[in-house]
Structure 1
């Protein structure tokens, strides 16, 4: 049971970053990358990279 909770917590922490990023891009305002043809793909890639960096950082600190 403890391993399951640890895994779920790890997933929650890492996937919170894309959720916040996509939430900001859902606002009806002029945003960065809006005029670029592949802007949404760029936002997804940036969000995934940040998530991977946070995951790696937490693993390195042995928090996960």
Structure 2
């Protein structure tokens, strides 16, 4: 079985701002993830579209 998944971690969207929008909260969230950054919807759109296209595997 083959599974393709996108796991961006924390996303910079309105829902995550409910946790707090201070600098300390953002730094804490960034350091929870391997790449030490918070993803934006723009950064995840292209990989999502790429994965949604039918492939010849």
Q: If the TM-score is normalised by the length of the shorter chain, which range does it land in?
A: 0.3 to 0.5
Which structure features the higher share of helix residues? Answer: 1
TM-score normalised by structure 2 residue count: 0.34
TM-score normalised by structure 1 residue count: 0.32
